[in-house]
Amino acid sequence: MLLSEICLAGSKFRIIFNRKISADYPLLFPIVLMNDFPDFSDYHYQIEKELGHNRAGGRVTYLATDTSNQQPVVIKQFQFAKSGSSWQSYDTYDREVQLLKELNHPGIPRYLDAFQTQDGFCMVQEYKQAASLAASRSFNPDDIKQIAIAALEVLVYLQNRIPPVIHRDLKPENILVNAAGDVYLIDFGFARVGEGEVGVSSVVKGTLGFMPPEQLFNRQLSEASDLYGLGMSLICLLTHTNSDRIGDLVDITYQISFKHLVPKLNVHWVNWLEKMVNPRMKDRFPNALSALAAIPLSPLRPPEAQFSQSTLEFAAGQLGELLTQTVTIANPIPETTLEGQWEVAPYPYDPPAEQYSWITVEPKTFVGNQVRCRVTVDTHKLIAGKTYRRRLLLHANTLAKTYSLNVQVKTARMPVPDYFLSYGLLGLLGIFFAGLSSSTSVVALVAGTMTGSVSSAAIGTLVGSALGLECAAWLMYSSGWRFGAASSTLSAVILGGIVLTQIFSNAVKTVVTPAVFLGAGLGIVSGGLAGIAISIAVEKMLLGGSQKLLALTFPTLIAIVGVSIGLGSTIGMTNSLVLPPLIIGSLTLAIYIVHLQLKQAHFSLKHRRNERFVIKP
């Protein structure tokens, strides 16, 4: 059979059901036994439950009800008469009673009563609905800061008494915190009134790990002694270290190592705690008031800076352009405020910031948890066609202290003038015209020979070519290629001028024969193809960035030279139809190209000279 117990609150009995005592003697009815709680009803106290005990020291703490007013109280019983206890501990009881009678602070439970029992003595204190820091629970960083402040304020009260009171047993178990964040110090059994040495014959009193070295070795205590225990208690709280494992953080020289357990703890708090628990008493804060005054204003966990992007990439479309981008800095840590200041990282080739700064950030300093910063790059003094890499440094009140934002700037290429030529395209165009004119002239010669008039066939071919160019111009214009149509028209005009020149100079005998019509038909086909080719070349050059005049002129000159070469390959280079256009077209084309190259070289040289005064990558 199984056992279940019900302890009646405030009763001196307990009822036991279904306890398996023996297989031969089943228990079929409840047995009423006396409980282990002492009976304090004669003193108008009724025990509710046990809160804690120290059997070796003969101390047991109970939660009880004062039946005279139904208020909860705490009764600490000193069981000196029981086995294992020592009556020599009576001074602990008496010291605590006498001290608590004199203390009056909201952070110290009030003394209410004391009475003697058969087993020893009892002390009654005000009950606080609060758990000790040793209990497993969670605090946010701001709560821990308030606990430190409140505990120090209690110590300031104790140390301001004359003579000062030294608690000597500050540890997580003796620091209570309720749901509202109120802090209470308890257990003044080891407290001393006044500073001074602990007698050599005295027993060291306190808790290992929370006693400062001077207390551990029975040396002179001071107001700095209690700071050690409080600091160690806060370290336990921050590092989630149990009281019985505090020795894991202390080395043989009594140095405390805890920073590795709190990597995100604000450095100001790390320094403050290290000073609280310094093994050398003279290196601690001299008293609680000094420790309270030095408590960091910043939160325990500092803010963080999260960037919307780690690199800003700028690309200039033209020289001297102002480029702007925005980066957002966010702080995700609650109850903290991010503060930052921007700086451009020094670079060997950059002028001093006070003289000229080509990278600026606005706002340069800020306070806020969601900040949009505008980064502006002035490319006015940067070399064309280069890539610049710089770093922006954000100095912030964070654990990292400094953040780096990479900035990459690609400047515009050196402005190539609009007279830039596509030599590959023009070369293909020239080859096309040479081939077209050569094949056309061969066919025209054959047709003229067959019809008996080569010159009439040649004139017909030229006239037909001019008409074909005009037909191509109309076709391209109707398709929306206006500049291509204009170039085809220009070629037709030039070709027409050549024809008229040849006719009026009697260089070609014009006789209207079937050869003329045959050559005209052939010319219309070849002229149409030539006009379409010229129009396409012009439009492509315009798309490539060439000036309109160049795009119209160069394909026409290339056509003239190409036709002359192709025609000369069949009828001879010295022919009057070949030599003048070839010479004039070639010279004009060569002079134009050399002029443009010299102009471009002059522009480049002038620009490079100016680069002596700009910022290098």
For residue 169, indicate whether it is catalytic.
yes
Torsion, CA 215, CA 219, CA 223, CA 227, rounded to 10:
-30
Largest CA distance in the chain: 156
Q: Contact, 167 vs 230, CB < 8 A?
A: no
Encode 248-271: b = buried (16+ Cβ within 10 Å), e = exposed.
ebbeeeeebebeeebeebbebbbe
d(CA 185, CA 150): 10
User: Three-class SS of residue 134?
Assistant: coil
Nearest CA among 11, 177, 163 for reference residue 99:
163
3-state secondary structure 434-487: HHHHHHHHHHHHHHHHHHCCHHHHHHHHHHHHHHHHHHHHHHHHHCCCHHHHHH
Peptide bond into 332 cis (omega under 30): no
State phi, psi for 178 to the nearest 5 degrees.
-90, 180
d(CA 614, CA 349): 10
List the end-to-end C-alpha distance of the chain, in Å, as a whole number. 89
d(CA 448, CA 444): 6
Contacts for 348 with CB less than 8 Å, ≥ 6 apart: none
Nearest CA among 430, 438, 424 for reference residue 556:
430
Encode 395-427: b = buried (16+ Cβ within 10 Å), e = exposed.
ebbbbeeebebebebbbbeeeeeebebbeebbe
Active site residue: 169, 187, 226, 350, which one? 169
Nearest CA among 387, 417, 405 for reference residue 315:
387
DSSP 204: P
Measured CA to CA in angstroms, residue 415 lies from 320, 606, 610 at distances of 11, 12, 14
DSSP element (H, E) containing 313:
strand 311-315
DSSP 160: T
Q: Contact, 383 vs 616, CB < 8 A?
A: yes
d(CA 353, CA 343): 10
Encode 567-586: b = buried (16+ Cβ within 10 Å), e = exposed.
bbbbbeeebebbeebbeebe
Q: Which residues are part of the catalytic machinery?
A: 169
